[in-house]
Structure 1
Amino acid sequence: MDLIVNPRLTKKDIVVLYSSVGWQKDVENIDNLKKGLKKSFVIAAFEDNKLVGLVRALSDFSTVVFIQDLLVCPEFQGKRIGKTLMLHLLNYFGAVGQVMVAAKPNNDARKFFHYLGFQEGQDRQLSAYVMDRRVH
């Protein structure tokens, strides 16, 4: 597996990865997503030149980093790709005081992020508020 920081991703790469995990809503406006990825900090995982995973973050590089996306193609899940991507990202932002993550509320995500040392918002008396303008 090769990790590339801020790679040049094709629309096809992005659509295939996001669609493979069921995130069709994200690729409905692929040009917008591609622009968002360019303006984010991205670490991508490639296997035989195929995009198999990525983590995307936004940060002020001082006080907070928001992890927006963590995706791994289903056929590559369970091979520590997500863990490797997250550890590289957390290492890169090691001096940042607060790390926030947006994740689907399911047991796999809960276990994974707890394993990495994250706490759920309610455990820290925090709430997350979302306005998703993509919803029709």
Structure 2
Amino acid sequence: MSISYKNEIPTIEELEELYQSVGWENYGNGLDKLQAYKNSLCVLCAREEGKLVGVVRVVGDGVSIIYVQDVIVHPKYQRNGIGKAMFQKMEMLFEDVYQKVLITDNLKERKDFYKSLGYSTISENHCCTFIKVNLEKKR
């Protein structure tokens, strides 16, 4: 398996296929999703022979904070080091940023993955998190 990594905006068709492969439906219609990607600091794509197989999207100011969003690897390609490689490449781009934040499902496998990359829970840093989700927004 030969995977290439590049900072680029995928097509909406590629994004829709990748999101559907993991069952994510909560990010609005295709145009909303594409606009979110275009507004990002970085979109690191993983491809095999041109096919989009993974993506990590980063938002924020790129100096004091980044928010790691939309970490996706197609199920057929999971557990092959692609997610880890994307994260390591992304972290090299933002190595001097003070805070790197992400929110994920409270599943053991997710927590284990991010802990293996050096991340810790917010409570382990003597902080708390607040979130306000717009549940009224049409998905």
1:24-74, Cα deviation, whole Å (9 max, x unpaired) = 122x41101100101111100011111100000112121111101110000
> 1:37, 1:11 → 2: CA distance?
10
Paired residue secondary structure (1:25): coil
Counterpart mapping for 1:1-136 below 5 A: 1-5=3-7, 7-26=8-27, 28-40=28-40, 41-134=42-135
Supply the AA of the counterpart residue of 1:130. I
Question: For 1:105-127, what per-residue CA distance to the aligned partner results, in whole angstroms no more than 9, with x for missing partners?
Answer: 11111001100110101111222
Structure 1: which 5+ residue stretches go unaligned? none
CA contact (8 A) 1:69 1:102 kept: no
Q: Percent identity?
A: 25
Deviations 1:75-112 (A, max 9, x none): 10001000000000111001111111121111111001
Q: Is the 8 A contact 1:65 1:98 kept in 2?
A: yes
Q: What is the Cα-based RMSD across aligned positions, in Å?
A: 1.3
> In the alignment, is the contact (CA less than 8 A) between 1:56 and 1:69 conserved in 2?
yes
Tell me, in whole angstroms, the C-alpha distance in 1 between the residues paired with 2:78 and 2:131: 27
- TM-score, reference length from structure 1: 0.92
Task: State the secondary structure of the residue aligned to 1:24.
Answer: coil
TM value normalised by structure 2: 0.90
How far did 1:134 drift?
A: 4.5
Q: In 2, distance between residues paired with 1:55 and 1:42?
A: 6
2:115 and 2:127 map into 1 onto residues whose CA distance is 16
Contact persistence 1:2–1:47 (CA under 8 A): yes
Shift of 1:129: 2.3
Structure 2 residue runs without a partner (length 5+): none
Distance 1:125 1:10 in 2: 40
Amino acid at match of 1:85: M
Aligned with 1:65: secondary structure?
Answer: strand
